[in-house]
Amino acid sequence: MAVDATRLDGKVIIITGGAGGIGSATARLMAARGARIAVADIAFEAAQALADELPDAIAVRLDLEDEASIEAMIADTVAHFGRLDVLHNNAALLGPDIARADNDVETMQTALWDRTYAVNVRGTMIACRAALPHLRETRGNIVNTVSNLALQGHMIQAAYSSSKAAVIQMTRAIAASHGIHGIRANAIAPGMTMTRALREAFPPPLRVAVESETLRDTLGAPEDIAEAAAFLASDAARNITGQVLVADGGCASHVPGIAQFRAFFSGEH
């Protein structure tokens, strides 16, 4: 009987931002496929509640602006499970208030720019740095969540999108420097994903505008991104490294204005 390479049996996986919409969906899916999970989040009570639901999981308090906190996340996970197979850097500085303040460069607050890079880039780097010695032992891998905005220009979210572009390059650098040690590194670039927080905070007209540019008939769900993360973390992706998997329903794949083209040709026919 062929082995199912998408299974994660016995793998120890850290998921940062694990208590959030995409993070919690990913934790549940990976646990269902046999992984042992460290749910790492600044919202520790939510992380603990999720860990209590899973068959073999712990909650870890994480503040990505605090180097000691990041290093403790790796150390505590290895101390508890005895190994580390996958680091899934999923957390980012992205809440309603942050998103409203993150506009174009001309109006950018230096403090917001610095904090975005401190969390999204510096924090991710420190987590990778602390994890790499353990991943070398298990020939493990890193999965970084970025964004399709890291691949496209937009009139808003200059700090967030450019920080995620930096994480893409960091991912490639790790893949290049540590592939010889059997370590893979990849990134997932979601588009707008219908988490509960987004549904509550994002203006419906803008959501409709994005949805109209999607090549599916709906926006992605957290479970869609979880499937991509679980695939990259698994041995089914053993020949994939240094790549960006765009999981945005096709938004970044087509010519501008496709919604208007669609409406025009539908009217003709």
Pairing verdict, β 12-16 and 141-145:
unpaired
232, with CB counted inside 10 A (0-12, 13-18, 19+), is: buried
- Helix 204-212 to helix 258-268 angle (10° resolution) is 70
CA distance 24 to 161: 23
- Provide CB contacts within 8 A for 123, sequence distance 6+: 64, 65, 70, 91
Q: Which of 16, 37, 70, 160 is catalytic?
A: 160
Distance CA 259, CA 62 (A): 41
Cβ-based neighbours of 42, under 8 Å, separated by 6 or more: 61, 62, 63, 64, 91
Terminal Cα distance for the chain, rounded: 51
Minimal CA–CA distance to 170: which of 225, 214, 131? 131
55 secondary structure, DSSP code = S
Cα distances from 266 to residues 211, 250, 258, 269, in angstroms, run: 17, 20, 12, 5
160 in catalytic set:
yes
- Per-residue tokens: 63: 């503040």
Sequence-ordered list of residues with C-beta below 8 angstroms from that of 12, at least 6 positions apart, any chain:
35, 36, 38, 77, 81, 82, 83, 84, 85, 86
Question: Catalytic site residues?
Answer: 160
